[in-house]
């Protein structure tokens, strides 16, 4: 197993880092909208985002595992990490040498944090929505206008990927800084959960994007190339939340003289499905040949979304009144899971893709 190359010591080091640097912040991330920026930067500083000394498969496995471990403790942080990894994926796969040599190293060492505004394009390619951003060609770049309702993991000095329509036949993809002239951002924090995700509405008012920030002038082909990785990295968000929910259910076994035993969903059942899903995805990552299979990943992403929802609901039932407190662990997991169900591709889009 490639993952075994990550020695026991390394996995323990990551767990210790999460325990000492992230766990104490979890409640303020969930309740006070605290954005775990320092923790993300620390992961970069410690080399967890590095790709240069690893094969593509090793990078996938390391990053998948990283999102899983972080999401066991906090899925808001897992989600911001996913945003960061999506941004890195765009630059790794781009043929733009300026972005690869000037920005990618700083993303990978955590100096720059990044996000992705690709929900709307994913829905556009899924024939569900019009594109929200439009581009006009200028001599040495593009002028972009429009708005994106939610982009996360943003802030001062951060960057993110966008797709804009040039004409009926061509879309372009760019990687832009948050201080781009003409871009205005308004923070959003009235969601049911994950309000520590540094999420903003982004309005583009004739923003000039120079050619050297273009990830691809053929976004249709580029998105098709990166979307399996983009989707794959969402799966460990669900694995992490599911694992944490099952552990929480087990801790409550003896409550009220063991009466949880009468509930219809028991941890053993959830654990068996969880182990089977987890093993099949890791097996897949260790054995896929050349390219990732989109349909297979869509199915795995849908399966984990459903399992996560079942697990957090079971955790609420097993926890009873204590779980119904707003600040409780089961209530936080419930809010996290409903975000996973509504993260593009949402459950309804995944079902549509497989229909
Ligand atoms: C906390 C949070 C963080 C998110 N982070 C990102 C991110 O980093 N990048 C990203 O690309 N997407 C992000 N999204 C969007 C997410 O991935 C899904 O697309 C969305 O949650 C659900 O989409 P839906 O298909 O149900 O469409 P709906 O949300 O029902 O949207 C349908 C239509 O309404 C528009 N719309 C929705 N909300 C608003 C609004 N407030 N103002 C104006 N128009 C609106 C949509 O653009 C769309 O055209 C985030 C969403 C949330 C809740």
Confidence band, pLDDT 50/70/90 cuts, at residue 256: confident
Q: From the CA of 129, how far away is ligand 1's center (Å)?
A: 11
What is the four-CA torsion angle of 248, 250, 252, 253, rounded to 10 degrees?
170
Shortest-distance Cα residue to atom 41 of ligand 1: 149
Q: What angle is formed at CA 346 by the lines to CA 217 and CA 145, rounded to 5 degrees?
A: 35
User: For residue 25, with 0-12 CB atoms within 10 Å meaning exposed, 13-18 middle and 19 or more buried, which class applies?
Assistant: buried
Q: Is the predicted pLDDT of residue 353 greater than 70, yes or no?
A: yes
> Which residues, including other chains, have CB under 8 Å from residue 12's CB and lie 6 or more apart?
none
Alpha-carbon span 355 to 250, nearest angstrom: 36
Q: E strands within 111-217?
A: 114-116, 133-138, 141-151, 159-167, 170-177, 183-188, 199-210, 214-216
What is residue 312's three-state secondary structure?
Answer: helix
- The model carries a pTM of 0.95
For the Cβ of 346 lying below 6 angstroms from any atom of ligand 1, the answer is yes
Name the residue among 159, 179, 39, 164 with its Cα closest to residue 91: 159
- Confidence at residue 162, expressed as pLDDT on a 0 to 100 scale: 98
Q: Whose CA is nearest to atom 40 of ligand 1?
A: 149
Q: For the chain, how far is it from start to end, CA to CA, in angstroms?
A: 34
Q: Which residue has the tokens 């990927």?
A: 161
- Residue 198 Cα to ligand 1 middle (Å): 14
Q: Residue 4 pLDDT more than 70?
A: no
Axis-axis angle for helices 267-287, 294-319 (nearest 10)? 160
Phi-psi map region of 134: left, alpha, beta (phi>0 left; psi -120 to 50 alpha): beta
Domain ranges of the chain: 14-108, 114-218, 234-354
pLDDT of 223 > 80? The answer is yes
CA 126/CA 123 separation, integer angstroms:
5
Give me 45's structure tokens: 């500083």
CB 201, CB 185: distance < 8 Å = yes
Residues sharing a CB contact under 8 Å with residue 58, sequence separation 6 or more, in sequence order = 2, 5
**DSSP H or E segment with residue 311:** helix 294-319
Q: Is the CB of 343 under 6 A from ligand 1?
A: yes
- pLDDT surpassing 80 at residue 281: yes
What pLDDT shows up at residue 9? 59
* pLDDT value for 215: 98
3-state secondary structure of 185: strand
In CATH terms, are 14-108 and 234-354 the same topology? no
Ligand 1 centre from 151 Cα, in Å?
Answer: 8
Atom of ligand 1 nearest to the CA of 129: 49
> Per CATH, which fold does 14-108 belong to?
Butyryl-Coa Dehydrogenase, subunit A; domain 1 (1.10.540)
Provide mean pLDDT across the span 53-63: 95
Say if residue 1's pLDDT is above 70: no
Nearest to 328 by CA among 103, 34, 27, 119: 27
**How remote is the CA of residue 316 from the centroid of ligand 1, in Å?**
26
In Å, the largest CA–CA distance within the chain is 74
Q: What is the pLDDT of residue 7?
A: 55
Domain 114-218 in CATH 3.40.50.300? The answer is: no
Q: Closest Cα to atom 52, ligand 1: which residue?
A: 150
3-state secondary structure of 118: coil
Strands 141-151, 133-138: pairing kind? antiparallel
Secondary structure (3-state) at 223: helix
Band (pLDDT 50/70/90 cuts) for residue 10 is confident
The predicted pLDDT at position 228 comes to: 96
Cα–Cα distance measured from residue 118 to residue 131, given in angstroms and rounded to the nearest whole number: 10
What integer pLDDT is reported at residue 268 of this predicted model?
Answer: 97
pLDDT value of position 113: 98
Which of 131, 149, 203, 234 for mutating ligand 1's site (highest number of atoms within 8 Å of CB)? 149
The predicted structure's pLDDT at residue 51: 95
Residue 322's pLDDT band (cuts 50, 70, 90): very high
Query: Average pLDDT for residues 231-240, to the nearest whole number?
Result: 98
| Ligand 1 atom index nearest CA of 193 | 1
Q: Relative to the CA of 117, which ligand 1 atom is closest?
A: 11
Rounded CA-CA distance 4/2 in Å is: 5
pLDDT for 2: 45
CATH of 234-354, one of 1.20.140.10, 3.50.50.60, 1.10.150.120, 3.90.1170.50: 1.20.140.10
Distance CA 231, CA 227 (A): 6
pLDDT digits (tens, 9 = 90+) for 111-159: 999 999 999 999 999 999 999 999 999 999 999 999 999 999 999 999 9
User: Among the listed ranges 93-102, 164-173, 246-255, which one has the minimum average pLDDT value?
Assistant: 246-255
Q: What proportion of the chain, given as a percentage, has pLDDT over 90?
A: 93
pLDDT tens across 304-314, in order? 999 999 999 99
DSSP E strand stretches across 168-305: 170-177, 183-188, 199-210, 214-216
């Amino acid at each position: 197993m490639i993952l075994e190359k990550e020695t026991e010591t390394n996995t323990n080091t990551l767990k210790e880092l999460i325990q000492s640097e992230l766990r104490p912040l979890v409640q303020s991330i969930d309740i006070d909208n605290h954005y775990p920026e320092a923790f993300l930067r620390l992961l970069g500083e410690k080399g967890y985002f590095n790709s240069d000394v690893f094969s593509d498969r090793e990078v996938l496995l390391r990053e998948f595992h990283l999102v899983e471990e972080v999401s066991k403790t906090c899925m808001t942080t897992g989600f911001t990490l996913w945003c960061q990894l999506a941004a890195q994926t765009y630059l790794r796969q781009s043929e733009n040498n300026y972005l690869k040599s000037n920005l990618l190293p700083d993303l990978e060492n955590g100096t720059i944090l990044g996000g992705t505004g690709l929900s709307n394009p994913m829905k556009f390619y899924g024939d569900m929505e019009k594109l929200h951003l439009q581009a006009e060609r200028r001599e040495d770049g593009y002028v972009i206008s429009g708005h994106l309702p939610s982009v996360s993991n943003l802030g001062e000095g951060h960057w993110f990927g966008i797709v804009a329509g040039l004409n009926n036949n061509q879309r372009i993809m760019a990687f832009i800084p948050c201080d781009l002239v003409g871009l205005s951002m308004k923070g959003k924090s009235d969601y049911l959960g994950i309000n520590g995700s540094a999420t903003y509405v982004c309005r583009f008012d004739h923003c000039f994007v120079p050619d050297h920030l273009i990830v691809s002038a053929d976004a249709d082909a580029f998105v098709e190339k990166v979307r399996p990785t983009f989707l794959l990295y969402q799966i460990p968000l669900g694995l992490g939340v599911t694992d944490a929910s099952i552990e929480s259910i087990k801790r409550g076994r003896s409550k009220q003289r063991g009466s949880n035993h009468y509930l219809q969903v028991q941890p053993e059942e959830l654990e068996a499905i969880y182990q089977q899903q987890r093993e099949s995805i890791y097996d897949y990552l260790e054995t896929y040949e050349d390219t990732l299979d989109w349909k297979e990943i869509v199915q795995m992403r849908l399966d984990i979304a459903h399992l996560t929802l079942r697990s957090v609901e079971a955790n609420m039932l097993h926890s009873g009144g204590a779980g119904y407190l707003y600040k409780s662990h089961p209530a936080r997991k419930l809010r996290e899971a409903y975000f996973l169900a509504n993260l593009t591709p949402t459950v309804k889009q995944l079902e549509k893709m497989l229909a």
